[in-house]
Chains A and B, each alone.
Chain A
Amino acid sequence: MELLRIEDLHVEVEGKDILKGIDLVINEGEIHALMGPNGVGKTSLGYVIAGHPKYKITRGKIYFRGKDITSLRPDERAKEGLFLAFQHPVEIQGVSLNHFLYNISKRNNGNGVNVIEFRKSLLEKAKTLGVNSEFLNRQLNVGLSGGEKKRAEIMQLLVTDSKLAILDEVDSGTDIDSLKVLTKAIEEVNNTGTGILLVTHYDRILNYLKPDYIHVLIDGKIEKTGNYELSKELETKGYNWIKENGVAS
């Protein structure tokens, strides 16, 4: 089943063109990686798909599970089953992760969530991510280390039952053990059919989560799409190789 379809997407932010004609299709259960050098619009694409009000779509459409979501609010998109793990999650004072997870889970799974059941399953999930109940009592992203923030993001993914997860630099700031734990959790989510869009500029994470497709974003356009092998090629030749060769495929 088709999850995401982006057609000829042009986006500007603060008067600057940032995406210049993106086409992208992600189907159920697929893992896609969006790669490219810093500042080419990778994070912006994630924000645009999630509905950030700052970005202005000047042309093109975004469809999610067959529905045009181009003009939906972020919360409406989330309710459709879209999830964005932020590269830099925002700090919310005085709101415990625990409370927040329960809240968003209730929002996405209806009010039928039993607190005790929820708490039980939450602790199990926390365990798989290598965090304890103390971690869950901390305030949402406040004073968390880079790696802890990523775990908090993935915890949120685990309770929302999302259909497509955009994971923005989920590997940055994590050590190798954390990365293993995180990618294992993501893999499990993927096994239930959730589509994954990994946004990254390193190929490190790709060793753990083998993507079905790799897209290279350069200057607001997807210049090249290939399979897993492409990442190896990129590793040796660098992004300049694509810039110099243009659209080689």
Chain B
Amino acid sequence: MKQEFNVRDDYKTKYGFREDVKTVFDTGRGLGKEVIDKISDRKKEASWLHEFRLKALETFKAKPMPQWGADLNHIGFEDIVYYLDPSEKKESGKWEDVPEKIKNTFEKLGIPEAERKFLAGVGAQFESESVYHKIREDLEKQGVIFVDPDAGLSKYEHIFKKWFGQVVPIEDNKFSALNSACFSGGSFIYIPPGVKVDLPLQAYFRINAESAGQFERTLIIADKNSEITYIEGCFTEGTPITTIEGVKPIEEIEVGTLVLTHKSRYKPVYNIQKRKYSGKLYKLNYYGNAKHTLEVTADHPILISKREKSEAKNKIWETEWSTPSKLSKGDYVVMPIDREIISQENRDFVVAFGSKKRTGGYVRINVKTDKDFFRLIGYYLSEGSVMGKNYLTFTFNKKEKAALEDVKKLLMKYFNKAPLEYGEYKNGISLVLCSTLAAQFFEQQFGKGAKNKNIPTWAMKESPEKQIELIKGMWIGDGSFMNKAYSYGIKRMFRINTVSSQLAEQIWRMLFRQNIFSSIHRSKRGGRRADMYCIYIGGDYLMKFANIIGFSEVIVNKQYHMLAEVGIESSVSYAVIIGDYALTPIRSIEFERVKFKEVYNFSVEEDETYTSNHIAVHNCSATTYSKDSLHSAVVELVALEGAKLRYVTLQNWSDNVYNLVTKRAFAYKNAKVEWIDANIGSKITMKFPSVYMMEEGARADILSVAYAGRGQHQDTGGKTVHLAPNTTSRIISKSISKDGGRTSYRGLVEVAKGCTGVKNSVRCDALLMDEKSRSDTYPTIKIDEEDATISHEAFVGKIGEEQLFYLMSRGLSEQEAMSMIVLGFVSEFTRTLPMEYAVEFNRLIQLNMEGAIG
């Protein structure tokens, strides 16, 4: 049976973090007049603006959904919350006044540092409201305005009102109408004549709540001969974080990781993983481990494989991240197997010696941690105990002579001391080693008392060859082979018993490393006896286990597989191990409604995740949202005579965001407008930044870069409209499609009658990374004037075998070679960015590409 396993390891890119920020006010789901009333009321807006919003709402409702581009028919407008205010405070321009949790979010994004280092001003928006705008003092003195639209309206109404809604009118399209109806937040920027702002202004946008809409409005007016670069960063997730060890993706951030704070110092991430939760709490039971019920909140993403896809043989196990509400019985949960090996011939251990009074502290010992030693660990875990403080004891059944001799030999080898043998007592023989060092060492490393036995991390990470010996020792001590006849046939399986819950799980996990799927069962024994945990190995894994422990009594019985499936232990027969993952079906799924229940989210740190549930579950602070979000901004730019205005966008929304943005600029005499627009994230983006060249000598430059991975459609491009003679425009589009992603270039070049001397060039380069992916170009050219120079080039390339071979023959791995080709392909774009952004952009592209390799 050939099996492929495509893990969509999009963890890195898809799941950012999420702060548990309570919004203080929202308008509820859906959009109607009352929502508009509430927004206007909360903002204490002038009646003209309220009228404007209401008119826009009518237009939005009246306009049909555009059908000419990416598929927008699945947007649930009624599920979206159109206005969420995270704070009672208005922005004050002081970082200290930003609410603590929001501040944390932005600090993780490195904003304070960026502001200090290479920005002239910073704005930050959380949900619907802008929480911070700050501009360098010297610029403020020169009359540069950088505030949110609310402040723009109240303080600078004369400038604001003149241009607002003029560049992008309400009626332009359905989404500009939507934005006009419920806009909130964004930036209002005014650069006075002749002022050249040397460093960029940047705004950061973040959507945190689920099903949230973000409808910011940006209006930039560059007065005569001024210069400005504005950068907007839309980072939902997968965001690189600045830490003491350099920039890291968020998922590498652990509690205790030192991140850069606004005070320009490194501080550990505090524990953000506890919250009060009200809603459905799901309880998941899965085959293979009866010990645990996985309890997860409704929005907690779990890595799963859908049942229907996994039924056929020769199957491909497609995995996806899903939430409990979408799961059903029989779907497979996916458990990552930790295959990391840290093997050491010798190890140093520090053994604490009893009370300090007596011995004064600690002794360092060096132990040869070889195969034999691991067997000794196995014996200890099953049959060992420490009596008093000084006696390391092993008790065997009198029949287990071989094991007894083995332990004697091993104790001699490692502690250079022979144990005393105590003769039969209730059929048992005890070996007692009188060594405080040995006794303390075992107790401290492997637990005291049967219920607390466990395997330390270093042993869990040792090579599978050594671990076999541990399992062997454990099995000899506490294991048995069942070979029972039932009415339905013979059932054969191996069993290892322990009363330590932790140890049972560790053995279960350790067996994964041997490619054995076992199952844990818990049996109540009544009275005061502790529950027993039984690890069963049967079905497909019976022979494999027999082989590793050297058990020869199992006769290959063609029927065992079938028979084993009859009983409860059968479970494991359905489970599979493929590569670094174990997959097992869900046995049952239930939920209860809870109110203000304290839920603990799993730390990103590997160990904690495993011990709590085994299943690939995301840290909830790094969650994605079960519902789609909508980002529909309107950006209006006005470049008056001789002004230079550059607008840079780095969009990396999570892939549940519809990103439908209207961006337009008016360029007057000899003014130059540049749109630099990079779209990496989102589910669907439709965005065609445009420049209307209103007067002679105006220039437009549009550079659009798109990356579409699985399930993404980037429908992007640009529009240049020549409304005056001797105007010049250029559009360059670069797109990359991978893993079935789709990119479309959609462009318009229009030259009005009488506009002579117009020059335009369009170039679209598309790179297809595989056969599944798609790229299209939809250029439209409308020319009403003969005297125009127009050129259009389109190029679609595939990453060729020859390119890959050339780079690989120089020692680059396939992944590195691909990434080099792609980054080279977009370098024309990266070169236009300030260095900090170029680095970040390359990193985002690399992260996206890595995640997609199966």
Say if the beta carbon of A75 comes within 8 Å of chain B. Answer: yes
| Shortest distance between the CB of A26 and any CB in chain B (Å) | 18
Chain B proximity mask over A76-101: 1 for CB below 8 Å, otherwise 0: 01110001101001101111000010
Please, which residues of chain B bring their CB within 8 A of the CB of A73? Answer: 808, 814
Cβ contact within 8 Å between B820 and A90: no
Residue tally, chain B, CB below 8 Å to A: 23
Out of A50, A75, A92, A156, which one reaches B824, CB within 8 Å?
Answer: A92
Known contacts A92-B820, A93-B824, A94-B828; decide if A53 and B805 are in contact (CB<8 Å).
yes
Known contacts A53-B801, A54-B801, A75-B814; decide if A94 and B809 are in contact (CB<8 Å).
no
What CA separation (Å) do A73 and B823 show in the bound complex? 23
Known contacts A90-B802, A90-B803; decide if A78 and B820 are in contact (CB<8 Å).
no
User: Which stretch from A103-111, A118-126, A217-225, A226-234 is at the chain B interface?
Assistant: A103-111
| Shortest distance between the CB of A16 and any CB in chain B (Å) | 18
| Shortest distance between the CB of B793 and any CB in chain A (Å) | 15
Chain A proximity mask over B797-834: 1 for CB below 8 Å, otherwise 0: 00011110111111111100100110111111000000
CB under 8 Å from chain B, chain A span 148-168:
156, 160
Q: Which residue of B lies closest to A51 (CB)?
A: B809
Known contacts A79-B811, A107-B812; decide if A74 and B805 are in contact (CB<8 Å).
yes
Cβ contact within 8 Å between A104 and B805: no
Please, which residues of chain A bring their CB within 8 A of the CB of B823? Answer: 94-95
Cβ contact within 8 Å between A78 and B809: yes
CB under 8 Å from chain B, chain A span 18-67:
50-54
Known contacts A92-B807, A92-B820; decide if A75 and B801 are in contact (CB<8 Å).
no
Q: Which residue of B lies closest to A75 (CB)?
A: B808
Please, which residues of chain A bring their CB within 8 A of the CB of B825? Answer: 93-94
Known contacts A94-B824, A94-B826, A94-B827; decide if A160 and B805 are in contact (CB<8 Å).
no
Known contacts A93-B824, A94-B824, A94-B828; decide if A108 and B811 are in contact (CB<8 Å).
yes
Cβ contact within 8 Å between B820 and A52: no
Out of A77, A83, A89, A103, which one reaches B812, CB within 8 Å?
Answer: A103
| Shortest distance between the CB of A108 and any CB in chain B (Å) | 6
What CA separation (Å) do A243 and B810 show in the bound complex? 36
Q: Which residue of B lies closest to A54 (CB)?
A: B801
Please, which residues of chain B bring their CB within 8 A of the CB of A93? Answer: 824-825, 827
Q: Which residue of A lies closest to B820 (CB)?
A: A95
What CA separation (Å) do A78 and B800 show in the bound complex? 20
What CA separation (Å) do A86 and B802 show in the bound complex? 11
What CA separation (Å) do A207 and B437 show in the bound complex? 76
What CA separation (Å) do A176 and B827 show in the bound complex? 36
CB under 8 Å from chain B, chain A span 121-142:
139-140
Please, which residues of chain B bring their CB within 8 A of the CB of A77? Answer: 809
Q: Which residue of A lies closest to B823 (CB)?
A: A94
| Shortest distance between the CB of A144 and any CB in chain B (Å) | 14
Cβ contact within 8 Å between A86 and B806: yes
Please, which residues of chain A bring their CB within 8 A of the CB of B800? Answer: 90
Chain A proximity mask over B134-178: 1 for CB below 8 Å, otherwise 0: 000000000000000000000000000000000000000000000
Cβ contact within 8 Å between A78 and B808: yes
Interface residue SS majority, chain B: helix
Cβ contact within 8 Å between B810 and A104: yes
Please, which residues of chain A bring their CB within 8 A of the CB of B808? Answer: 51, 73-75, 78
Chain A interface size, under 10 / 10 to 19 / 20 to 34 / 35 or more: 20 to 34
Please, which residues of chain A bring their CB within 8 A of the CB of B811? Answer: 75, 78-79, 104, 107-108, 160
What CA separation (Å) do A108 and B115 show in the bound complex? 39
| Shortest distance between the CB of B689 and any CB in chain A (Å) | 23
What CA separation (Å) do A223 and B811 show in the bound complex? 33
| Shortest distance between the CB of B801 and any CB in chain A (Å) | 7
Chain A proximity mask over B22-53: 1 for CB below 8 Å, otherwise 0: 00000000000000000000000000000000
Cβ contact within 8 Å between A156 and B810: yes
Q: Which residue of A lies closest to B811 (CB)?
A: A78
| Shortest distance between the CB of A109 and any CB in chain B (Å) | 10
Cβ contact within 8 Å between B821 and A75: no
Out of B803, B812, B826, which one reaches A75, CB within 8 Å?
Answer: B812
| Shortest distance between the CB of A105 and any CB in chain B (Å) | 10
Known contacts A53-B801, A90-B803, A92-B803; decide if A84 and B824 are in contact (CB<8 Å).
no
Cβ contact within 8 Å between A90 and B806: yes
Cβ contact within 8 Å between A104 and B826: no
Q: Which residue of A lies closest to B829 (CB)?
A: A94
Please, which residues of chain B bring their CB within 8 A of the CB of A108? Answer: 811
| Shortest distance between the CB of B796 and any CB in chain A (Å) | 14
Please, which residues of chain A bring their CB within 8 A of the CB of B821? Answer: 92, 95
What CA separation (Å) do A94 and B824 show in the bound complex? 4
| Shortest distance between the CB of A245 and any CB in chain B (Å) | 36
Please, which residues of chain A bring their CB within 8 A of the CB of B801? Answer: 53-54
Out of A51, A78, A89, A95, which one reaches B827, CB within 8 Å?
Answer: A95
Please, which residues of chain B bring their CB within 8 A of the CB of A50? Answer: 805, 809
What CA separation (Å) do A84 and B806 show in the bound complex? 9
Cβ contact within 8 Å between B806 and A104: no
Please, which residues of chain B bring their CB within 8 A of the CB of A52? Answer: 805
CB under 8 Å from chain A, chain B span 820-851:
820-821, 823-828
What CA separation (Å) do A197 and B825 show in the bound complex? 34
What CA separation (Å) do A160 and B807 show in the bound complex? 13
Q: Which residue of A lies closest to B828 (CB)?
A: A94
Known contacts A52-B805, A92-B803, A94-B827; decide if A75 and B813 are in contact (CB<8 Å).
yes
What CA separation (Å) do A100 and B808 show in the bound complex? 12
What CA separation (Å) do A53 and B820 show in the bound complex? 20
Please, which residues of chain A bring their CB within 8 A of the CB of B824? Answer: 92-95, 139-140
| Shortest distance between the CB of A171 and any CB in chain B (Å) | 20
Q: Which residue of B lies closest to A73 (CB)?
A: B808
Cβ contact within 8 Å between B810 and A160: yes
| Shortest distance between the CB of B567 and any CB in chain A (Å) | 44
CB under 8 Å from chain A, chain B span 186-207:
none
Please, which residues of chain A bring their CB within 8 A of the CB of B809? Answer: 50-51, 74-75, 77-78, 83-84
What CA separation (Å) do A176 and B810 show in the bound complex? 28
Please, which residues of chain B bring their CB within 8 A of the CB of A140? Answer: 824
Q: Which residue of A lies closest to B813 (CB)?
A: A75
Q: Which residue of A lies closest to B765 (CB)?
A: A93
Please, which residues of chain A bring their CB within 8 A of the CB of B817? Answer: 75
What CA separation (Å) do A95 and B828 show in the bound complex? 10
Please, which residues of chain B bring their CB within 8 A of the CB of A90? Answer: 800, 802-803, 806
What CA separation (Å) do A54 and B803 show in the bound complex? 13
Most buried by A among B823, B824, B827: B824
Please, which residues of chain A bring their CB within 8 A of the CB of B805? Answer: 50, 52-53, 74
| Shortest distance between the CB of A86 and any CB in chain B (Å) | 7
Please, which residues of chain B bring their CB within 8 A of the CB of A75? Answer: 808-814, 817
| Shortest distance between the CB of B651 and any CB in chain A (Å) | 21
What CA separation (Å) do A83 and B820 show in the bound complex? 20
Q: Which residue of B lies closest to A91 (CB)?
A: B803
Please, which residues of chain A bring their CB within 8 A of the CB of B803? Answer: 90, 92
What CA separation (Å) do A77 and B821 show in the bound complex? 21
Please, which residues of chain A bring their CB within 8 A of the CB of B802? Answer: 90
Out of B810, B814, B826, B828, which one reaches A78, CB within 8 Å?
Answer: B810
| Shortest distance between the CB of A4 and any CB in chain B (Å) | 15
Could you list 14 further interchain pairs (A-B, Cβ under 8 angstroms) beyond the known A50-B809, A51-B809?
A74-B805, A74-B808, A75-B808, A75-B809, A75-B813, A90-B802, A92-B806, A94-B826, A95-B823, A95-B827, A103-B812, A108-B811, A139-B824, A160-B811
**Interface pairs (28), CB distance under 8 Å:** A50-B805, A50-B809, A51-B809, A53-B801, A73-B808, A75-B808, A77-B809, A78-B808, A78-B809, A78-B811, A79-B811, A90-B800, A90-B806, A92-B821, A92-B824, A94-B824, A94-B828, A95-B821, A95-B823, A95-B827, A100-B820, A104-B810, A104-B811, A104-B812, A139-B824, A140-B824, A160-B810, A160-B811
Interface residues of A (CB under 8 A from B): 50-54, 73-75, 77-79, 83-84, 86, 89-90, 92-95, 100, 103-104, 107-108, 139-140, 156, 160
**Complex A-B, nearest 9 residue pairs according to Cβ-Cβ distance, in ascending order:** A94-B824, A94-B827, A78-B811, A74-B808, A95-B824, A90-B806, A107-B811, A75-B808, A104-B810
